[in-house]
Each structure stands twice: as C-alpha cells, then as structure tokens.
C-alpha cells in the first residue's frame, strides 16, 4: 500500500504541472484498495467556475466506475502564494465525502513530494452537509 501511496504522490506532483489556472496550481491523485490511481488538476477559466484538482480526480474516478469504498486516500499538492497547508477546501471536502468515504486519508505534500500533513476526511470534515447514509454512499 505504501508503494501505491508513493506512486500517487508522484502523479499528484506531475498533475500540478498540468494545471490550467490564473493563480495557484493544484494537483491531486486518489488511490484505491484495488490499485487504481485517479489524477486531477485545477482548471480555471475567466468566465466560469473553476474546477478544483480534487473534483477532477473524483470525476476521473467516477468516469472509471470506481466505488466509494475502494478509495484509500487522496494526495493534494499545491503551489499557492500564501504560506500554509491546504487539505482541501470545504467544497472539495463535501465532494470527497459524497464520492469517496469517511476513512479516506487526506495527505498534503509540497512540490517536492514531501508530506506536510495527513488526517482522515472524518477529522477534517466532521459535520458534512447533508450527512449521507452508508447506503447512499454506495450508489
């Protein structure tokens, strides 16, 4: 499992370079129990809502019919102007909650792939809106 996490870190860092943005670049990679990796990067336009890297990774997993309970973790790497650690915005936490699972390990790394922060989605987002039942998550 650790090898898969390391591969996910490498892919998230590579995704950072693919970001289409007017601001800070973000890359993400969801990894699963079954060995699948789903890449995402932020996409912004001047006239429409941007898409966050975590959202794109989730959409990628949905396109490939990954099941929420298969998700083990998500790697997030960002290059933002301010100093700090950003373990997914509230909107992305909700998106992760609805389309992965509460035990998801959220790992933030820097552009060198060094781990800066790790915690579970449940700890990062203890009161999701609305709370989905386990049966709803499986749909």
Q: What is the pTM of this model?
A: 0.88
**Range of the structural domain that residue 23 is part of:** 2-138
pLDDT per position as a tens digit, 3-50:
999 999 999 999 999 999 887 899 999 999 999 999 999 999 888 788
Distance CA 83, CA 67 (A): 35
Task: Pick the range with the lowest mean pLDDT from 87-91, 101-105, 106-110.
Answer: 87-91
Distance CA 77, CA 15 (A): 9
Report the CATH number at residue 81. 3.40.140.10
How many folded domains does the chain comprise? 1
pLDDT per position as a tens digit, 40-96:
999 998 887 889 999 999 999 999 999 988 999 999 998 865 567 778 999 999 999
């Amino acid at each position: 499992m650790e090898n898969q996490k390391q591969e996910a870190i490498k892919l998230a860092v590579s995704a950072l370079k693919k970001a289409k943005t007017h601001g800070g670049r973000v890359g993400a990679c969801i990894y699963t129990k079954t060995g699948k990796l789903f890449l995402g990067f932020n996409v912004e336009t001047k006239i429409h809502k941007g898409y966050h890297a975590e959202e794109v990774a989730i959409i990628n997993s949905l396109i490939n019919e990954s099941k929420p309970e298969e998700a083990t973790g998500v790697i997030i790497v960002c290059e933002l102007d301010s100093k700090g650690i950003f373990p997914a915005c509230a909107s992305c936490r909700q998106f992760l909650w609805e389309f992965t699972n509460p035990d998801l390990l959220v790992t933030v790394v820097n552009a060198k792939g060094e781990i800066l922060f790790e915690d579970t989605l449940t700890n990062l987002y203890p009161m999701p809106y609305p709370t989905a039942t386990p049966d709803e998550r499986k749909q």
